[in-house]
Structure formats: structure tokens, C-alpha cells
Structure 1
Amino acid sequence: MSNGETVTADTALPRPVNYIADAWSDCEAVRDDRDAWNIDPNTRQPVHRMATTAPRDVERALRHAERVYGVGRWDEEARRERADMLERVAALIEGRAEDIARTDSLTSGVPIGVTRKVTAFLPARIRATAADLLSIPRVRPLAAGGRDVRLYKVPWGPAAILTPWNGPSFIPAAKVVSAVAAGCPVILKPSEHAPGSAQLVVECFVEAGLPSGALQLVHGRGDVGAALTGDPRVRIVSFTGGPAAGRAIARGAAEDFKVLQLELGGNNPALVLDDADVEVAADGIFDGMTKLNGQWCEGPGKVLAHRSLLDPLLEALTERLSKVVVGHSLDEGTELGPISNAPHFATLQSRIDGLRSLGATVHQPARLPELDGYFLSPTVAAGADPARATAELFGPVVSLHAVDSDEEALRIANSNPSGLDAYVFGGDAERAVEVGSRVLAGEVRVNGAKIADLGDDSAQSFWGPAGLGGHGPAESVRVFCGDRVVGVDSPELPL
């Protein structure tokens, strides 16, 4: 199951292979340009050629998903069987946690200490879905005056799941477990920049004893994703990634009215009110812009600070950034690793140059390692026109802008809304929450920038350009199932 040349002797990265129709099979190597390689972001050394899937194999996967789809049995015994299978998946992932964390780190550039924490959460996410399988009935009676009327939660059908490079293991695991629990036959295509972590996760699902066709894996770039998402046999598409690809998926899906879950990100605003504690705000913004190397779609991007706090906030941020340990992602002492891949590294440099051209003063105080990787000092670009600083940054970069009131901050934040996340920092928590409730975003965090859900029932919608749908608890039935009402009619109904 090899795929092209191996350039480095000890990459610890699995070569991409497909899993189609219940069997592992070789991919094809992309050979159409010089950049068609998976690269170690710490050294810029090639690891292996990028993989792709031939059209005939994409077709095999689609045929198999269509063949195995059915409404299925969802009584208590059937749900228990599938929940037990997911428990086995969780245990297998626990046993491979270090391999997954290392692959995540070498793929995304995120420090190994962080990817270990992310990987440690995977079993909990899978077990939570197993618990949903047991606690959420898939058939329940409806009040109908004594007649037999039932509400069924029915899997939509074959699901195409396309995942990005910035959450190499967690995003595929979270989406796949929800779809598998729902009963949708899944075809997973991870980012061409992050094939290895998703493959390790799929191996755990396969070893746990999935039903035939419940999960297939194909590798490739946008052409493979387009072949999946545009095919009429696919009934639901779950995609996390860039807005251009998201719009293309939405246009293609409109042809046969596919169900869509599109998480597209944006330039998330952070509002620093005039009563904010500068140290608290600096801690939160620093945490958000460096977490996962800043490569997370919910991280802060455009900081709108009250004019009276602008200079002290800039000083506090640059002081924190100057102390960040930037280094090889596998070094235990590294706090910020390299940017994941060459295209995104170039994009970030272009974004910083763009802010500079808008009048920003660029602050990059961190010391970079003597390595030839995609290393970038965490950056604060202060002073650009906020109305023109609208591009998503998606890295250890924020733009900083002065405002004179809450209303001005809200006007700027909402004139080019992210729609995904926002942040408010203020001394009066009640006031900060009230301001946050007026930001056009699916989630607004006050005085912090963590990733974990704010509350047990934190269901988050994607507003405006952030995409379609949302995510939150009970994802398997909220996203991957549709409602079907079946029951006995009555001549006594009024119409």
C-alpha cells in the first residue's frame, strides 16, 4: 500500500491509502507540479507525494455508499450495538493517542504538547456520541388523540465529509462519529495537506468492526472533493474549510437540494470595552492568537479596542509575544510551532503585507528558531483602517484598531461580520454580555478565548458568511438525521 517515494528516513507519518468498499487500496500520486508533496513544516523537507484518488475509485466509493444505505433498525438493541462499537473506537484511539498526536503535530505545526491535549479529548467526544445513541430515541410517539403517530429520526443518506488541515484528527473524528452514529454511510476526504491523522482515525473505526460501507476514506485535492459533493447519490455534505470552496459546494448542492453543514470561518472581532482589564484582555487575545498556532477558525482576528486602552493593550500584547518560545513542533518546550503548509504561509505573509499597506505598524517581537521551516513571529498589526481590514487571518496574527464607543465597535464588527465567533472584554460582565448579544456571530465569548463549549447545551449557528447550519450537542441527530412523521390519519381532523 505504498504511494510514491519516501524522502525522509524517519518521518513518522503514514503514507496515504484509501479505504473503499471495505478494503484498503493504494492511492495515486499527484505528479502535475513541483508543489505536489506533503512537507514537514518544521524543515520544509518533502515527506511523500500528495495522494489522489482516481475517478474510477471515487465512483466505487459512491456506488458502495449508495448500495449499503438504508433506514435501518434503531430499536434499543440496535442502538446499543452501535454504541458498543463506538466505545471500541474510543478505546482504540486511546491506545494510539501518541501516534495521532505526533502526526497532528508534524502535519499542522502545532506543538506536540498541545496536540496531545487535543488527542486526549478524542475518546471523550466519541463516547459522548455513543451516549447520545442510547439516550436519544430515534422513534417516539406524538400526541394525536390516541392514534398511532410516530416521529422518526432517519439518516439522510450517504454523507460526504470534507475536513481541513488545521484540525487533522479532531475534526474528522467528530464529524465521522456523528454521521456513523446517525446511520449515514460516510465518505471522508481529509485535506490533501493533512492525510495522515484522518487515516489513523479511520483505522481505529475499521478495527472496531464497522458495518459494511459505514465509513470509506478517499484522498485528494479539490477535484476529488468536487466529485463527491456534486454527485446526486450524496445526500448530505459536511465541510469545514475556506469560503471559496464552501460557496462552490453550496452552488453544486443546490442542484439536488443536498443538506449542508458548512463551517467557513471569518475575521472574528474582539471588542475591548473602555472598562476592560488590560491584563485580562491581553491574556485572552494572546491565548486566542497563539492557540493551535492561531490556525483555528474561531480565533480572534480584528481587535477593536477603546481608544483609551489601545496603547497599553498593544504594549501588553507585544510583551507577551516577545516571550513566546517558537520552535520545532516536536520539541517539548515549544509554545508556538511553524505554519502548517507553504500555501498558507504565503497567504499569511500576504495578509500582513496587506495590513501594512493599509497603514498598519507591524509588531513581530518573537525570536524565531534557526530552522528552515514555515516559522512566523506572532504579529500585531496596529493602526490600519478597520473598514478595510476584513480578510480572515487564520494564524498567529491580529489587527488592532481604536474605537471611541461600544456603538462604533459594534458597527465595525457587524459591517463585515465573521458570523462564527466573537469576543468581548469588559470589567462589567453584565454589560459585556449585553454588548456580545448584539454581535452577528454564532458564539461570543466574554473575557476569554477557550475552545471548549461555553455550556453543556452550547449549540452554535453559523451566521452569514460563516456558512450554513451549525454545530453543538447531539450532532448525530441534529445534523445527520431528518424528521419523518408516520401515523394513522383521521377523518375528524378539520381539513
Structure 2
Amino acid sequence: MSLAELVSTDPCTGEAIWAGPVGGVAAAVARARAAAPGWARTPLAKRIAIARAFKAAVEAEADGFARLIAAETGKPLWETRTEAASVAAKVEISITAQAERAGEKLAEGGGVRQELRHKPHGVLAVLGPYNFPAHLPNGHIVPALLAGNTIVFKPSEQTPAVAELMASLWAQAGLPDGVLNLVHGGGDVGRELAGAEIDGLLFTGSAHVGAALARQFADTPHRILALEMGGNNPLVAWGLDDIDAAAATVVQSAFLSAGQRCTNARRLILRQGDDRLVEAVLALTDRLIVGAPFDEPQPFMGPVISNSAADGLERGWAGLQAAGGRVLRPLVRARADRPFLFPAIIDMTGHGPSDDELFGPVLQIIRVADWDAAIAAANATRFGLAAGLIGGDVARFDDFWARSRAGIVNWNRPTNGASSAAPFGGIGASGNHRPSAYYAADYCAFPVATLAADALGGGITTGLKP
């Protein structure tokens, strides 16, 4: 492999999936800049038609798309099929959001028209993550294209093959040359793209990288920056009736996608002395199948994305033990040379749980004396993406909703349940108040307010000398 080549590998086997050149940021931005005026002036109906053709292309390629995502990320095939379906579904959702949140509004009175229309920013960069390498960047790309922006897309260096397939499907749909441009590479390429002559950047990833981007953008307040940066999400269990259902909700919240969702529950908070739920969670966790994407029976979860990620999680796990945590289920690595991790659970009561985002299958348990202490424990984080309550009644949930600090607050549902037809984002270290999903239309275009009349009229009638 040359220094100018990126190779993507299957995390389950280490076999190469894709190889290609890195860099080329300046040329990609130049192509996007050259294409921007024509795409911005393309009628919205034409842009919508191309987006719908992309949707059709994704649906026609759904099985191959899902299999490629599974091979490159290690996620089970049942799960990647839902991701491929979400990519297609995003188109109609974005068309509706575009009309509702960034459409045209006209009013007339006294011979003057009040108009509200929206313009694209120009050239937008999209930095995508590896955990949902198609769905999450697609959530930026579709609304940005509908708004009339051109795009330079840098996917995670872990998942370039999925990005290449997405780009090819857009081309198949009839997207003009230069409107969507792909560059590959690691953090150095991302920093170069963020510092290029772009009009904004849309990012999904870690808080560490998001904070670095915010610093890089500090001297360019005229450029849009939308950040979605993960979380250290609490799940509070209180007043439970159905322990088995509660355990299933906890396990899905904590371990779905091998714990590699920004909305995974990292902390389970419950009343001191209530061990029934913990025992049920442990028993269900012991039954989870960890395996490769195409195994039969299908696994509940696959590996984490890479050996490097697994190494980092093992270091984080060791830190929790060093802080005094009581191990209930150890973090077990099935093979030293591959990133398969069995889910881990640790009781951190009284020992200061970590406020790092341990992006993998690690759940911390915190026991508290009363409801006020549960709320305080839930909010004891610099993040603020997702929070959940299981159990209780409407009054209890209303109090939890009012006092919790998160952009997604669920009741009797997993923390990682979110709708593409709703805004998605958080506060604190989880974002910068630019939620994505349905509200992505807000940051992909800017409003232009107009007062208009068909002819000049009126004039100064007071304050004039005779």
C-alpha cells in the first residue's frame, strides 16, 4: 500500500474490502464551487425528481447495499437492512421537511407583498461517521441537495466503500457532475476540508472532533457549522411492573449495534436495593449472541468497528475498575486479533461513573436513594443527547421530561429509538443547537425576507420643508 492509498477492511476477518486514493480536497471543493450556481438555479421540482430517482436506485440495490454495510462495519445483516431502508425513506421525509421548514411563504397587504424564501449556502462539507455510514451522512446530504447546495463528502476512513456506493447511486439517479464530490482519508483530510473555501460543514461524530471543528471555525462565524456529537446517556428505571420488558429495554438501549450508537444508554440508574431489574438484565445479557454479520442464527450484535476501537474500550473498562467499580459482567474479547467484545456491566455506585463516551457495549449501573437523586445522577454529565425513563406514571414522566437535560427524552422505550420525522440533536457536549433529521432543512438553507411591490410608490410625507 502506498502512502496515498486508503484500504478498508472487514472488521471480522481483516480482509480488504476497498482501496483507493486519499486526499484531493482542493480539487473536490473547486468542482463543487463550479457546480454550485447551476445546481442552485435548478428548479426544486427537478432536484426532487433526482432525489426520488436516488431513492429508487437505493431500493433496487437494497440487498447489496445492506450486505456492503454489514461487511464493512461488522453489523448484523438484519440491522443493516434497516439502515438501507432508512436511506431510501429519508428522501420523502426530507421533501416534506423542505416544504414545511424551508419553503416559500407569501402574504399581501396594502399593495406590498411579504415574501419568505430560502437560499442554499453554497458548498457544504459533510463528515460522516462509521457506525451508520449510509444513514447518518445521508441525513445531511439529501436535505442539503434539495436546498440547492453542492457537497464535498468525506466519509469515515473506516467505511469508504459504503460512501462510494452511495455516490454511485446518486450519479445513477442523474445528479450532475460536481454536485456531490467524494474525498477519502483520516483526520488530516477532515481538517483540510474544514479549512477549505467552503460555506459550511455538517458533522456527526465524537465530542472531541466536534470541539476541534468548533475551534477551527472560530474565526469564520459566517460559515454554518452543524454538530451532532454523541452522549453519555442515562436510562432511569423507577416503579417497574414488568421486569422482563424493562430488562429487554435496558439491553437494547445499552448494547444495540455493539454499543456504537450515539443514543445508546451508558448509565442505568435505579433505586438502591432494587435488584430484580439488574438480575434480569444480567440474565438476558448472557443470552445475547455476538457474531459476524452473515452468521446463522443471526447475532444480536457484531464486533466493534476495529481492533483500535476495541483496545480503547478495554482501556476505558480498566479505568472503571481502577475507580472502584464492581464487575457484574466482564468485558471479554473473544479473540485478541479481532474486535469482538461481549457486553460488559459494572456497578459504579459511589465511585464516580465515567463521563467519557465509552463507544461500545459497556453499561454502568448507579444506585440512588430517591427520585431527586435519580434526576441528579441522570444530569451528571457534560453531554445531553438522549435520556430515558422506564416505569412510573404520566406524572413521573412529566417531571422527568421537565428536569432532564437532553434533546431526546423517551418513556418506556429504548434510548436509541428516534424518528427521522422528528428533530435529532442534543445540548451540552452533544451538539451546538442545530438538530438534524427533520430539522436538517433549517441548517441547509438560510431565509431571505422580502418586501415587494410591482411599482414604486409613496414617498416622504412628513418632516419636509415647504
Q: Structures share a fold, TM > 0.5?
A: yes
* 2:83 is the counterpart of 1:104: no
The change in CA–CA distance for 1:357 and 1:187 in structure 2 (over 3 A counts) is same
* 2:441 is the counterpart of 1:465: no
Aligned partner of 2:28: which letter? A
Render the CA deviation track for 1:26-64: whole Å, top value 9, x for unaligned.
Answer: x9315xxxxxx53321124455567521xxx21111122
The change in CA–CA distance for 1:40 and 1:270 in structure 2 (over 3 A counts) is same
The change in CA–CA distance for 1:460 and 1:437 in structure 2 (over 3 A counts) is farther
Report if aligned partners of 2:128, 2:154 keep a CA contact under 8 Å in 1: yes
Report if aligned partners of 1:80, 1:133 keep a CA contact under 8 Å in 2: no
* 2:204 is the counterpart of 1:240: yes
The change in CA–CA distance for 1:202 and 1:405 in structure 2 (over 3 A counts) is same
Match of 1:166 in 2: 131
Which residue of 299, 304, 323 maps to 2:264?
A: 299
DSSP-derived class of the 2:209 partner? helix
- Kindly state the Cα deviation for residue 384 of structure 1 after the two structures are TM-superposed: 4.6
Matched residues in 2 for 1:150 and 1:266: separation? 40
Instruction: Give the 5 Å matches for 1:74-473.
Output: 78-133=43-98, 138-142=103-107, 145-231=110-196, 233-257=197-221, 258-275=223-240, 277-309=242-274, 311-333=275-297, 334-364=299-329, 372-385=337-350, 387-449=352-414, 451-453=416-418, 456=421, 458-472=422-436
Match of 1:38 in 2: 8
DSSP-derived class of the 1:409 partner? helix
Matched residues in 2 for 1:158 and 1:174: separation? 17
Report if aligned partners of 1:327, 1:368 keep a CA contact under 8 Å in 2: no
* 2:46 is the counterpart of 1:70: no
The change in CA–CA distance for 1:417 and 1:285 in structure 2 (over 3 A counts) is farther
Matched residues in 2 for 1:137 and 1:266: separation? 29
- Kindly state the Cα deviation for residue 363 of structure 1 after the two structures are TM-superposed: 3.0
Specify every segment of 5 or more residues in structure 2 that has no aligned partner in the other structure, as ranges: none
Matched residues in 2 for 1:474 and 1:455: separation? 6
Report if aligned partners of 1:318, 1:365 keep a CA contact under 8 Å in 2: no
Alignment size in residue pairs: 457
Report if aligned partners of 1:323, 1:366 keep a CA contact under 8 Å in 2: no
Render the CA deviation track for 1:371-421: whole Å, top value 9, x for unaligned.
Answer: 952111111111354634211122111100101112112212223242111
* 2:4 is the counterpart of 1:28: yes
The change in CA–CA distance for 1:67 and 1:111 in structure 2 (over 3 A counts) is same
- Kindly state the Cα deviation for residue 172 of structure 1 after the two structures are TM-superposed: 2.0
- Kindly state the Cα deviation for residue 186 of structure 1 after the two structures are TM-superposed: 0.5
Report if aligned partners of 1:387, 1:412 keep a CA contact under 8 Å in 2: no
The change in CA–CA distance for 1:222 and 1:366 in structure 2 (over 3 A counts) is closer
DSSP-derived class of the 1:164 partner? coil
The change in CA–CA distance for 1:367 and 1:29 in structure 2 (over 3 A counts) is closer
Match of 1:61 in 2: 28
DSSP-derived class of the 2:37 partner? coil
Report if aligned partners of 1:163, 1:239 keep a CA contact under 8 Å in 2: yes
Matched residues in 2 for 1:167 and 1:251: separation? 26
Matched residues in 2 for 1:131 and 1:372: separation? 47
Aligned partner of 1:66: which letter? R
Matched residues in 1 for 2:130 and 2:325: separation? 29
- Kindly state the Cα deviation for residue 266 of structure 1 after the two structures are TM-superposed: 1.8
Higher mean alpha-carbon deviation, 426-435 vs 168-177, is at 426-435
Matched residues in 1 for 2:384 and 2:461: separation? 43
- Kindly state the Cα deviation for residue 433 of structure 1 after the two structures are TM-superposed: 3.4
Matched residues in 2 for 1:52 and 1:275: separation? 52
The change in CA–CA distance for 1:138 and 1:350 in structure 2 (over 3 A counts) is same
Matched residues in 2 for 1:308 and 1:493: separation? 79
Aligned partner of 2:36: which letter? Y
Matched residues in 2 for 1:191 and 1:449: separation? 27
- Kindly state the Cα deviation for residue 287 of structure 1 after the two structures are TM-superposed: 0.7
Report if aligned partners of 1:265, 1:466 keep a CA contact under 8 Å in 2: yes
The change in CA–CA distance for 1:393 and 1:122 in structure 2 (over 3 A counts) is same
Specify every segment of 5 or more residues in structure 1 that has no aligned partner in the other structure, as ranges: 6-26, 31-36
DSSP-derived class of the 2:385 partner? strand
Higher mean alpha-carbon deviation, 235-244 vs 358-367, is at 358-367
TM-score normalised by length of structure 1: 0.85
Matched residues in 2 for 1:129 and 1:116: separation? 20
- Kindly state the Cα deviation for residue 214 of structure 1 after the two structures are TM-superposed: 1.6
- Kindly state the Cα deviation for residue 452 of structure 1 after the two structures are TM-superposed: 4.7
Report if aligned partners of 2:102, 2:442 keep a CA contact under 8 Å in 1: no
Render the CA deviation track for 1:150-176: whole Å, top value 9, x for unaligned.
Answer: 112111121000011101111122211
- Kindly state the Cα deviation for residue 354 of structure 1 after the two structures are TM-superposed: 1.1
Render the CA deviation track for 1:113-143: whole Å, top value 9, x for unaligned.
Answer: 1111221222111232234456666332245
Aligned partner of 2:200: which letter? I
Report if aligned partners of 1:104, 1:197 keep a CA contact under 8 Å in 2: yes
DSSP-derived class of the 1:149 partner? strand
The change in CA–CA distance for 1:238 and 1:380 in structure 2 (over 3 A counts) is same
Aligned partner of 1:52: which letter? V
DSSP-derived class of the 2:342 partner? coil
Aligned partner of 1:444: which letter? V
What value does the CA root-mean-square deviation take over the aligned residues?
A: 2.8
